[in-house]
Amino acid sequence: STSRITSPNSPLFLTHCKITLPIQLSSNILSMQMILYLKRWLFRRTVHVVFTSVVPGHARGYDALNMCLYHLRAMHCLHISGINFEPYQVYFEPEDVKACIVTCGGLCPGLNTVIRELVCGLSHMYNVNDVFGIQNGYKGFYSSNYLPMTPKSVNDIHKRGGTVLGSSRGGHDTHKIVDNIQDRGINQVYIIGGDGTQKGAYEIFKEIRRRGLKVAVAGIPKTIDNDIAVIDKSFGFDTAVEEAQRAIDAAHVEASSAENGIGLVKLMGRYSGFIAMYATLASRDVDCCLIPESPFYLEGEGGLFEYIERRLKENNHMVIVVAEGAGQDLIAKSIPVADQLDASGNKLLLDVGLWLTHKIKDHCKSKKMEMTIKYIDPTYMIRAIPSNASDNVYCTLLAHSAIHGAMAGYSFTVGMVNGRHAYIPFHRVTSTRNKVKITDRMWARLLSSTNQPSFLSKEDIMEAREAERLANRLPVPASSSEHTKKHSASVLSNGEK
Ligand SMILES: Nc1ncnc2c1ncn2[C@@H]1O[C@H](COP(=O)(O)OP(=O)(O)O)[C@@H](O)[C@H]1O
Ligand SMILES: O=P(O)(O)OC[C@H]1O[C@](O)(COP(=O)(O)O)[C@@H](O)[C@@H]1O
């Protein structure tokens, strides 16, 4: 039901919208219908939407709500101001819970905080005291001893970087993992990791469902790159941006203390340049920011070399920030090497910082320009520090949200969506990747803050807009309707009970 709409074609602005979810509908159909209806009305208007009447613990209404949140956020035209959930019923008896925690993939500030808050939260909020750590990532499920964890044993770990459980890439074997979960009588699995890890969590969840086990799988998305889709941001990202300032400051000091000095800082960001973009915006000492999403070129009019020459002439020094995934095509053209993959199948990147340093040096030499360039690579130092205050709070909220969802018997990835904690079906966070939109306002703000060339032609912009338009088309997983039909109320499932 909606208020303040007089007729479907009314020119009145919709200012409040109360949506009662017809829970008998399939979640996908419901959310698509709702979105299509709202889209006619709301596109490019800010509207406060309050969702109510989600029946406590009702699977279909709940899943539909999550789908809607995802779609509404994708439309970028809604501000979701309130979600009223009735309290869930607790599915597990605390004394029956045997929980385990695993961390996978690359490091990220805040991993230990999430581990700590899971252990303490389970104990303090639900009196669950049978909690184990799986060591060294997914392969730890079937290759090492499990580590008993208590609030006392994790008390101080949030002050340390890294993960006390260890982490790894590769080694995901769904059957062996679920065999061990089953053999050891584990009924809550907390999985902390990036998009690869969440794909793995989805596989584990599907196998658990196939075997009819009453096991809740809770994914907590982690990545320093902030490239996980759907969620507002990943934990550790704020800390990374803050720590990056120290490297940028050093680069600025070095550059401004030399004649024609250039400070070059490489930051993490395999496919998404969020750390580089936010660190640049925060610093104000950066003259040029290069990210994977925005292709650049070196030579000729509007190219990087021309800008460097101009900037040095104007200011005598400059700072460049480059995300590690930027310019990989350019490097591959000048140094042809076969693609190499890490243990998880991720492409290993070539060092854009080192390559750029040599290219800039060679160019200045050819122009007989005196210059000094200092290249700083703080990437692993940034990743290895403990989380800052705001990330610590965020980690705590994520951990608590994961605990409540798992105790209610759901399987999901947890995350903040439009400022609200939501439970998201696994496939929603793994089907796309969060990237900097170069046609969006944030990138425009960066360009105006650094005054760098955009390196983009009109055609590039049109192409980027089209790619974004296609990416914003709502993905409907092929298996979802089948999944809905097959769902059995007694078996724990993805966003369902
Ligand atoms: N498609 C997949 N299916 C199952 N497991 C996966 C998949 N992709 C990655 N993994 C597993 O997830 C773990 C972490 O993946 P990785 O890509 O290295 O890091 P991240 O999760 O941070 O992106 C690894 O143990 C890897 O084997
Ligand atoms: O050298 P490693 O440990 O494989 O990690 C490098 C990669 O890890 C990252 O921090 C991302 O890690 P995840 O994929 O695990 O989130 C990238 O920025 C970087 O390319």
From the CA of 224, how far away is ligand 2's center (Å)?
8
Closest approach atom of ligand 1 to CA 193: 21
The pLDDT assigned to 64 comes to 54
Q: Which residue is catalytic, options 63, 130, 195, 225? A: 225
CA dist., res. 422 & res. 230, Å (int): 10
From the CA of 50, how far away is ligand 1's center (Å)?
36
Contact 430, 401 (CB under 8 A): no
Our mutation pick for probing the ligand 2 site, out of 197, 222, 223, counting the most ligand atoms within 8 A of Cβ, is 223
Please report which ligand is nearest the Cα atom of 269.
Answer: 2
What stretches of 130-270 adopt beta strand conformation (E)?
131-133, 147-149, 188-193, 216-221, 261-267
CA dist., res. 484 & res. 497, Å (int): 12
Minimum mean pLDDT range among 355-364, 406-415, 486-495: 486-495
Contact 195, 228 (CB under 8 A): yes
The binding-site residues of ligand 2, defined as CB within 6 angstroms of any ligand atom, are 105-106, 194, 223-225, 268-270, 324, 342, 349, 383
Our mutation pick for probing the ligand 1 site, out of 177, 207, 344, 429, counting the most ligand atoms within 8 A of Cβ, is 344
Q: What are phi and psi of 493, to 5 degrees?
A: -145, -170
Average pLDDT of the segment spanning 282-292: 97
CA dist., res. 9 & res. 7, Å (int): 5
Residue with more model confidence, 184 or 77: 184
From the CA of 311, how far away is ligand 1's center (Å)?
42
pLDDT digits (tens, 9 = 90+) for 352-400: 999 999 999 999 999 999 999 999 999 999 999 999 999 999 999 999 9
ipTM above 0.85, yes or no: yes
**pTM of this structure:** 0.80
Average per-residue pLDDT in the chain?
83
* Domains of the chain with CATH codes: 88-234+387-430 (3.40.50.450), 238-385+437-465 (3.40.50.460)
